[in-house]
Amino acid sequence: MKKIVIVGGVAGGATAAARLRRLSEQYEIVMFERGEYISFANCGLPYYIGEVITDRKKLLVQTVEGMSKRFRLDIRNFSEVTAIHRDRKTVSVKNVQTGEEYEETYDILLLSPGAKPIVPPIPGIEEAKALFTLRNVPDTDKIKAYVDEQKPKHAIVIGGGFIGIEMAENLVERGVNVTLIERSNQVMAPIDYEMAAIVHAHMQEHGVQLILEDGVQAFEHNGRRIILTSGRVLEADMIILAIGVQPESQLAKEAGLELGIRGTIKVNEHLQTSDPNIYAIGDAIEVKNYIHGFETFVPLAWPANRQGRLVADHIHGLDVKYNGTLGTAIAKVFDLTVAATGNNEKTLKQLGIPYEVVHTHPMSHASYYPNAQQMTLKLIFDKETGNIYGAQAVGKDGVDKRIDVIATAIKGGLTVRELPDLELAYAPPFSSAKDPVNMAGYVASNIIDGMAETVQWHEIDDIVANGGFLIDVRTPGEVAHRAIRGAVNIPLDELRERLSELPKDKTIYVTCQVGLRGYLATRILQENGFAAKNLDGGYKLYASVFGAK
């Protein structure tokens, strides 16, 4: 009778425990959790603070009592594992309520300790009174009580990742004025800058003051005053510190287990640490990127749950492995949905991997059916093989669906050439006969086939400044409204008759609203002997970065 000891009763740990019991009634399973609660709704915490989720009990997905009973588990909460004794296969455990300490033996040890908010040693941080981080239910209770009782007028959120953004939104929902400070030039690292630009504008429309490319230098007046790196000074009634998380790998480190990047616990494809009797899963481990295989740190719920299942199977003797993390991620940001899967441009650039990009602006469903909403969809791929490297989407309805379809296509080994062949469900309330994913596949295929050449939003200003010839093929009415400086207006439907106005000796750059008419124009131009390149994503993408010019 194997005895399995699990450290950490949230997400992956709880998943593994339940699966182990389903696999066998024979195992002795002990699960230690330092806090009071196991298996709570991590991802729901900001929404309870925002009173979107109103019933606190809903956060407690499984109770110690309920889960113990159902799965015949020995769950010990308030129990911190303080040391691993690999030589004698025991762990030291401390009851954080009573102070009692003891050793517990294991045959197999599973570490699922998670990750904790990074709290840097910024001057004054110790004295900051209303400075919060958000990881668990007690953190949530503290923040919510503060908002309920102190009724703060102004909050500073430090960090523009998922938690920072969700907290900003939920504090706004509570009537708090929110300023969000982010060190880099964009929020939400999984997406690229031009996609984040849409999110920036949307957050500002909803009253969030965004301060990018700035950090915190010091806290003063018990955290009431914040001095930014730029010298700027802000006042606040409360501060949410959400600059990121770090793996809880101290226990593993002290036990001499091999560590990976950024302090993660290193595991093999079976989720075993350098000690084969000790497994590790969840936010604390190093994973391989699914597409390019590099080591990475992806503290998200899906991988934790998947690993929890697989680790149980492997402990049980099944031949399974974890294939790496794609990094599919999604967030609601007020009325927007922002989602991504696979690698972004920033990552590919760092890795030195060549790639091609297309941006489209499809409608969520048939435009003639009510409430169709435009999204921006970005597809990143290998121009040689057509392999899909990643996708990003920002919009309202239907963003999650398209990212999920592309994530599935990646796992199915489909190339961008095969995306048009995806037979997706069409009726007017749900999609178009050519779904946005089909269309993105067509656009990408055209590039691979040499049917279309494009330039990107960040290239066109330089091109025009250096004497490049740019035509805008929208109607005069559209162009009068706003356009890229220096563009010559030749409406698409007049282009064939006005070819004589174009220089034969240089590349014609073309722009339109979303990129479609520009593509049609470049086809006409190429077929008439011109070199032509289309501004990918059209004026709409350009303007979402640079604003109207």
Phi, psi of 84 (to 5 degrees): -115, 130
Q: Across the strands, what pairs with 419?
A: none
CA 10 to mean position of chain CA atoms: 20
What type of residue is 500? Answer: S
> Between residues 15 and 273, which has the closer beta carbon with respect to a copy of itself?
15
Determine whether 512 is an active site residue.
no
Q: Quick one: which H or E segment has residue 519?
A: helix 516-527
Distance CA 515, CA 361 (A): 8
CB 409 within 8 A of CB 418: yes
CB 379 within 8 A of CB 348: no
For residue 310, the minimal CB distance to a copy of itself (Å) is 9
Tokens of 129: 């009174």
3-state secondary structure 403-442: HHHHHHHHHCCCEHHHHHHCCCCCCCCCCCCCCHHHHHHH
CB 136 within 8 A of CB 37: yes
Q: Which entry of 2, 3, 36, 43 is annotated as an active-site residue?
A: 43
* 154-158 and 238-241 beta bridge pairing: parallel
From the list 466, 414, 469, the residue with the least C-alpha distance to 440 is 414
> Between residues 188 and 479, which has the closer beta carbon with respect to a copy of itself?
188
> Between residues 56 and 151, which has the closer beta carbon with respect to a copy of itself?
56
For residue 59, the minimal CB distance to a copy of itself (Å) is 6
> Between residues 147 and 521, which has the closer beta carbon with respect to a copy of itself?
521
For residue 98, the minimal CB distance to a copy of itself (Å) is 28
> Between residues 352 and 529, which has the closer beta carbon with respect to a copy of itself?
529
> Between residues 67 and 122, which has the closer beta carbon with respect to a copy of itself?
67
Beta-sheet strands, E only, within 299-387 = 329-333, 336-342, 356-360, 376-381
For residue 57, the minimal CB distance to a copy of itself (Å) is 9
- Which residues touch 115 (CB under 8 Å, ≥6 apart)? 245, 246, 247, 248, 283, 284, 299
CA 523 to mean position of chain CA atoms: 36
> Between residues 469 and 519, which has the closer beta carbon with respect to a copy of itself?
519
Distance CA 319, CA 200 (A): 45
For residue 287, the minimal CB distance to a copy of itself (Å) is 11
> CB burial class (10 A; 0-12, 13-18, 19+) of residue 427?
exposed
For residue 473, the minimal CB distance to a copy of itself (Å) is 11
For residue 504, the minimal CB distance to a copy of itself (Å) is 16
Catalytic (active-site) positions? 43
